[in-house]
Amino acid sequence: MTDCPSSPADRLDGVLATLRENGLAARISTSPSVLEAHSHGEAMDAARLPAAVVFAESTDDVATVLRACHAHRVPVVAFGAGTSVEGHVTPAEHGISLDLSGMTDIVELNAEDLDCRVQAGLTRQALNAQIRDTGLFFPVDPGGEATLGGMCATRASGTAAVRYGTMKENVLGLTVVLATGEVIRTGGRVRKSSTGYDLTSLFIGSEGTLGIVTEVQLRLHGRPETISAAVCQFSNLNDAVQTAIEIIQCGIPISRVELLDDVQMAASIRYSGLTGYEPLTTLFFEFAGAPAAVAEQVTQTEAIALSNNGLSFAWADTAEERTRLWKARHDAFWAAKAIEPTARVISTDCIVPISRLAELIAGVREDIARSGLRVPLLGHVGDGNFHALIITDHTPEGYARALDLDRKIVFRALALGGSCSGEHGVGMGKLEFLETEHGDGTLSVMRALKNTMDPHHILNPGKLLPPGRVYQG
């Protein structure tokens, strides 16, 4: 990383002057309300006002901004919908927030080949609405109103990952602007290739630290002929977890299996109006495919649930009822926040091999009981991923108690062969766990990649990689 002798204010002025010379004056904002909106994501305390916000409308705009920032050594962080939860979009001091939310075009749609190319600011909800008439859809569903570029940056997954995979499995290629402003394209439209390094996978999950994604080539899927959903409640949390484990181990191609514990279910009943359900640990199921295949999945799943003391199946066969159920699941964070509206909610996640999930959740429940905090649990239990929504006081002491519990939850997962995050990503919130999970040698190689691709460390500095040794060769 090369030092630059001028002050941060002078360097920023140099960037803004360059952008104005390149016709981007109208895209620059220093309005206090705009700066505040770009100072943080969701669910984490970390916030810092950017020095300026620049609104990009094209790959060329992004390249112009990065060339200027690289030349003047000014840090920049990409901003989409601002829904990340580990501090990913919190800007660096004296830095620029580069807003891509206006880049919402579908660049090309290839229905016959089941793929499309979109700009990074398009949300997956908007994409699915626009391609509905083709009979295709994009399945990765993290729940929030996330942009597809942001979903690439954090390697998002969500409720449908158990069947369709994560962003890694559903992205064929990318357009990326490097730190120097150079534009590259990775991957392509073909389903497989054995040429060169897999740069697409390198950028997915890199959290904007190696380059900024401006276009995404996506794999699409046909809409299932039949969709059915069901809810099964359990008196015992372990019975629900064991049901999910057995469903996956039996190879049933279920589309979604989501767990809400009794605390979360009680909150969702109140917040989302889920009448007809008890405040008990609950599994939400979704089945999709040909009618006969769905009927077989349902029969097998119901038998497994009832053998594990499931109380009964309640069916949601209409689109309206399914929408109501999944909206309640996606609104779980806000339902938890409504338990104590003046409190804060710290959201954390982790993931383990599915055979260790019951052991992890049992241990986490013990940690929660000892903490004295109220913590709803929910998760994508079909792939071993679960979330804890830690409700705590708006005080330094309350925040410290929440972080202490967060650490215990994550270290339990790591001890069971898991990861500190299945889908939230690292950002700033989980930096401290990276060396335990990956080891010093692996992290030193990651830092060497960062130094090579972003020598002045202007791209989202302080995120994803903790400081430390760099691999020298």
pLDDT in tens, 366-406: 999 999 999 999 989 989 998 999 999 989 999 999 999 99
What is the pLDDT, as a whole number, of residue 43? 65
Beta strand 52-55 pairing with 96-99:
parallel
Q: What is the DSSP letter of 74?
A: -
**How far apart are alpha carbons 448 and 358 in whole angstroms?**
38
Torsion on CA atoms 320, 321, 322, 324, rounded to nearest 10: 90
DSSP H helices, 309-454, are: 319-330, 332-339, 357-371, 396-415, 434-438, 440-453
CA dihedral defined by 265, 271, 272, 274, rounded to 10 degrees?
50
Q: 8-99 and 226-333: same fold?
A: no
pLDDT tens digits, residue range 158-182?
A: 899 999 999 999 999 999 999 999 9
Q: What is the mean pLDDT of residues 136-156?
A: 93
Q: Which residues pair with 288 in a beta bridge?
A: 227
69-73, 125-129, 188-192: least confident range: 188-192
Query: Looking at the domain 226-333, which fold is it?
Result: Alpha-Beta Plaits (3.30.70)
Summary mean pLDDT of the chain: 94
- 297: tokens are 């999945």
Domain residue limits, the chain: 8-99, 106-222, 226-333, 340-415
Q: Which residues pair with 257 in a beta bridge?
A: 285
Average pLDDT over residues 197-205: 97
Summarised one tens digit per residue, pLDDT across range 270-320 is 999 998 899 999 999 999 999 999 999 999 999 999 999 999 888 887 888
In the chain, the N- to C-terminal Cα span, in Å, equals 18
Q: Among 192, 8, 207, 211, which residue's Cα sits nearest to residue 90? A: 207
CATH class of the 340-415 domain in this structure: alpha beta
CATH topology classification for 8-99: 3.30.43
User: Looking at domain 106-222, does it have CATH number 3.40.50.300?
Assistant: no
Q: What is the pTM of this model?
A: 0.94
